[in-house]
Structure 1
Amino acid sequence: MPVAHRVARTAAGPEADLPAFVMDHDVLTHRQLAARAAAVAAGLRAAVPARRRDWLADGARLLAVATGNDPCFAELLIGATAADGACAVLDPQWGHRQTEAVLDRLRPDLLVVPDGREDLRGVAEALGVPVLTADGRPDGYGAWRDAHSPADPARRLTAGEGTSAFLVGFTSGTTGVPKAFRRTRGSWRTSLSLGRSVPGMGADRATLAPGPLAHGLSLYALAECLSAGVAFHGLRAFGPAAFTERLAAGGVRRLVVAPTMLTALCAAAGGRRFPGVDTVVTGAAKLPPSLLPDLAKVLPDARITEYYGASELGFITVRELGGVRDATRAAASGAADGRPGGLDVGVPFPGVELQVRDGPRGTVLPPGGTGTVHVRTPLRCDGYLWDDDEGYRVDGAWATVGDMGRLGADGHLHLVGRGEMVISGGLNVYPSEVEQALAGLPQIEQAVVTSVPDGYLGRVLVAVVTGPGAAGLTQARLLDLCRPSLARYKVPRRVYTLDRWPLTSSGKIARGVIDRWIADGDARLVPLPSGDDRGTG
């Protein structure tokens, strides 16, 4: 972690005995966290041989952590990334084959797995990777750490070089094997510094990030808290009841959440209000405007900041919605997304520059032109360790992940697609544009739009929607409702609703599962009736 030295500094100051890392009911103070992290750093240096890697400093160790949201996560991360060491954060929700493929490519110097996951231990041992289990057994992680205690945080938790890699993160791969990217300390140090000027983005108050620490949303929130010396709160496993009860216990003023988590909170609140929460930071997906009225009841005093980013690029834009009541009124008046169409994701994050370029020629387009979003940023990753993705391209100081968008005259970026344009009947359609239009209807709260092959048109759009009036819609009625915002050819030919969205471990809608259900004709998808004989042709 590029903030290991800050952890040592906080542990030596007046806040040493205040909570630093809280996972459910397990609490580590700043002093305890620093002491444990220092022992991890000492143990890695003294007892773990280092493989040579051309992207790590000589002698630096790579620790892989697959514990998920365990109380030991923070100490492992901090200890592993002290000085010029590095940490790979593996997702314990991966399947056996994914984990095996990642470990085979990565070959970390040491792996820590959660209790009860002997399958992960077996995979690692078969590959010759040393492994510890996070439990109380004599040969487990706790005993290993204690064998290297006490260790001096001031000596062990030192700052590494800004150009050195400290983190191996993962994003989805086209082959099914997660792609591994590496981040330098300098990129996160710059991000943390610039973020302090954005309302909500600086962790100056106790923060709850209830999602998986294996994903960037919660992991970065942890870095913010450690850098600022304030308490980080997490949940071992996200659930609406656990989320609600944690807020009811008090002590948390800032939330860092995916929009689906806020939807779950509103559904589970049961009339309870949490006025102690004054800041909400949301990312990973667009916050549905239809959620704001319910959110205003549950978090009446919160101010909302949402951001758009990418694993490879870091923060790209930020949008301040202001107080939740003001944001609700703005959404109701139709002012929430402004012009010139597409999802308004705000203005460039501090230190970030944007260009929209014409795809075939690479010409920089004027405001209002739709093209590929390019970013010049000090926050981008340092490249992939394997399987470079065509979606992430670098052109000198500029880079892109292939997202499509427009820049407004006011500097706001409007996304119109995530690089997945559909050609239907010879016409170009961006599914995210259709999703935005559907989610803007009062009957619909969330929408996922995809496409399927069609013998006549090539491909046709298919939507899955939920919301207070989704089940009562017909295809014909949906066409009428979409007329003000969508051309007729952009209205999905088939529309389904369902009782519950399938979610990824990070709280996003599992789009791959939706695609599979559509292809398989899964009974969990309920088709909307046609309503009359007009169709949507």
Structure 2
Amino acid sequence: MPMAQSVARAGAGPLGDEPAFVLGDHVQSHRELAARAAAVAAGLRSVPALSRTWLPSGTRLLAIGTGNHRVFAELFTGATAGDGVCAVLDPQWGTERTRAVLDRLRPDLLVLSAGQKGTREAAGELGIRTLTAGDFAPGVYADGSGVRGGEPVTPGEVTPVDGLSSYETWLAEWAGADPAGHLVPGDDLAPFLVGFTSGSTGLPTAFHRSRRSWRISLAEGRKVWGMDEGQRTLAPGPLAHGLSLYALAECLESGAAFHGLPSFDAPAILREPSTAWARRLIVVPTMLTALCSAAADFGAQEAARHLASVRTVVSGGAKLPQRLLGPVAALLPRARVLEYYGASELGFVTVGSSGHATGPRDVGTAFPGVSLEVRDAQGAPVPPGTTGTVHVRTPLRCDGYVWGEGSFRQDGEWATVGDIGQLTEDGHLHLTGRGGMVITGGLNVYPSEVENALSRLEGIETALVTSVPDDYLGQALVAVVTGAAAGLGQSALRELCAAALPRYQVPRRFYTLATWPLTSSGKVARGRIEEWIAHEDARLVPLPGLSRE
């Protein structure tokens, strides 16, 4: 059933007063979600639609830049109802990148949280209509205590947005919109979502996806994940990233309750009473690492009791390290651990159980409805056990890029994002590389993108970025730099980078050197630098403050 229509039916049915969207202390019932999402859909249809070559005429595009916010579920549902399209922006981009995205995207309406002054000003300069959603009131606790300005504060109340175009005021104009009339299905083949991946130029690459791709994915996913209205889901990561966003869509489509957090906080998962009812936990491996570490501080037995209702753990974004399986089993003894390999442009590619992996690079077998093929450099299929480029035939793939040159390539019914691997005789896919991309903490990063940003910073003449294995992040970014900035310490250089890069793209370690090794063509010998890093060669000098932990 289409997602928006499912929300309308849940709101009008027996589930109406049950929790639908929980974010920290904020609880929104199915009935409340349906009513507010219908108002979003009605209000969005009243906004004049800009003309875009990649969207059907008259289609409205709403951009959500709030991050994890109490209004996210209603915005996402209302924006994608009917023929609407939604773009989810990542608050970690920073003002400069967000402005560049908005300049190309040109949404008909943008919703931000109250603290995003720089982005709001950039949108105003671009002439984009922007609404501001109030933030949670400070000092509010789960039991309702807390004050603001000497007055009691109601749990879930939001701060007023003085002098700004208020989302709540705008929404009130459309209060009373009928969910059954506004939360309606859209055309199967029409776009409904704009997603973003890391781009090699520093600008996030935008792709668009049809409703059909997610409708098929959700239908097949019910069989894989055992999804139904009883599968109360905890996805504590950022909703701007595909893992948590898709988990929210699963819950909206099935009538299950979704629980998120304003920001990832492993101790909060073990501390908050409302997280104890989760039956599914949707995470990247770094979150599981942090959760197991928090459990050790919290008390292993008490932590296990708190999460005793979890029956399924779904891990994605990076391969789950074997070393983590024991601690996860101790923390979640009743849960089966599933992991998947996929790509933003391809959707789910493989799925497997960590307990049945045949090796550290085994990412499982093909997701239902998906076919796999490994090809050589000439595009010819290779025998099992032979390494090549992974190609996928799937109805879950995106419809192409809105802008940018990403790794997604199509060849008739087949597509690839350039990942390298091999298939076994029994159909297990073993990934051996991901082209030029690095996965760090479950997030995709192109080293060339970071190099470009570093090279533009004052005091850096040349920069080379690569990655090294890391117990927590999977892969950690490291950089070698020359120029005046190489005289700075680790912390100072990281602070300099933070102005130009999202936090997850800032290298964890910095080195410098006297002379760059060159290839016969005069280019920096990247392979030799990587060897020096791996072997801690003395020709690489760590900047002061480097920790080996």
Same fold by TM-score greater than 0.5:
yes
* Deviation of the 1:137 alpha carbon: 3.2
* Deviation of the 1:204 alpha carbon: 4.3
User: Where in structure 2 are the equivalents of 1:291-440 lying within 5 Å?
Assistant: 291-321=324-354, 327=355, 336-338=357-359, 343-359=361-377, 361-389=378-406, 391-420=407-436
Paired amino acid for 1:399:
A
Q: Which residue of 1 aligns with 2:542?
A: 521
Do the aligned partners of 1:201 and 1:281 also contact (CA within 8 Å) in 2? no
Do the aligned partners of 2:229 and 2:257 also contact (CA within 8 Å) in 1? no
C-alpha distance in structure 2 between counterparts of 1:60 and 1:199, whole Å:
33
Mind listing any 5+ residue stretches in structure 2 that lack a counterpart?
135-159, 449-463, 473-493, 512-532, 534-539
**Alignment pair present for 1:169 and 2:195:** yes
C-alpha distance in structure 2 between counterparts of 1:145 and 1:219, whole Å:
23
Within the candidate set 302, 305, 309, 1:276 is matched to 309
* Deviation of the 1:377 alpha carbon: 0.3
**Alignment pair present for 1:237 and 2:263:** yes
SS in 2 for 1:293: helix
Q: Which residue of 1 aligns with 2:107?
A: 108
| Structure 1 residues 525 and 412: alpha-carbon distance in aligned structure 2, compared to 1, 3 A threshold | farther
* Deviation of the 1:54 alpha carbon: 2.6
| Structure 1 residues 75 and 357: alpha-carbon distance in aligned structure 2, compared to 1, 3 A threshold | same
C-alpha distance in structure 1 between counterparts of 2:469 and 2:219, whole Å:
40
User: Where in structure 2 are the equivalents of 1:56-205 lying within 5 Å?
Assistant: 56-135=55-134, 136-137=160-161, 139-200=165-226, 204-205=230-231
Do the aligned partners of 1:2 and 1:81 also contact (CA within 8 Å) in 2? no
SS in 1 for 2:214: helix
Q: Please list the CA deviations of residues 75-132 of structure 1 after superposition, one character each: whole Å capped at 9, or x if unmatched.
A: 0111111101001100111121100100000010010011121111100000010001
Paired amino acid for 2:195:
G
Q: Which residue of 2 aligns with 1:20?
A: 20
Do the aligned partners of 1:190 and 1:379 also contact (CA within 8 Å) in 2? yes
Q: How many residues align?
A: 445
* Deviation of the 1:258 alpha carbon: 0.6
C-alpha distance in structure 1 between counterparts of 2:467 and 2:243, whole Å:
29
Q: Which residue of 1 aligns with 2:154?
A: none
Paired amino acid for 1:349:
F
SS in 2 for 1:60: coil
**Alignment pair present for 1:10 and 2:31:** no
C-alpha distance in structure 1 between counterparts of 2:466 and 2:94, whole Å:
30
Provide the identity percentage. Answer: 56
* Deviation of the 1:366 alpha carbon: 1.0
Within the candidate set 274, 289, 293, 1:263 is matched to 289
SS in 2 for 1:416: strand
C-alpha distance in structure 1 between counterparts of 2:466 and 2:402, whole Å:
35
The TM-score with structure 1 as length reference comes to 0.77
* Deviation of the 1:461 alpha carbon: 8.9
Paired amino acid for 2:3:
V
RMSD: 3.0
| Structure 1 residues 376 and 362: alpha-carbon distance in aligned structure 2, compared to 1, 3 A threshold | same
C-alpha distance in structure 1 between counterparts of 2:420 and 2:352, whole Å:
18
C-alpha distance in structure 2 between counterparts of 1:463 and 1:59, whole Å:
48
| Structure 1 residues 311 and 466: alpha-carbon distance in aligned structure 2, compared to 1, 3 A threshold | closer
The TM-score with structure 2 as length reference comes to 0.76
Q: Which residue of 1 aligns with 2:251?
A: 225
Do the aligned partners of 1:21 and 1:29 also contact (CA within 8 Å) in 2? yes
Q: Which residue of 1 aligns with 2:517?
A: none
Q: Please list the CA deviations of residues 460-499 of structure 1 after superposition, one character each: whole Å capped at 9, or x if unmatched.
A: 99735448xxxxxxxxxxxxxxxxxxxxxxxxxxxxxxxx
Mind listing any 5+ residue stretches in structure 1 that lack a counterpart?
322-326, 331-335, 422-430, 436-447, 452-458, 468-500, 529-537
* Deviation of the 1:240 alpha carbon: 1.7
| Structure 1 residues 374 and 319: alpha-carbon distance in aligned structure 2, compared to 1, 3 A threshold | same
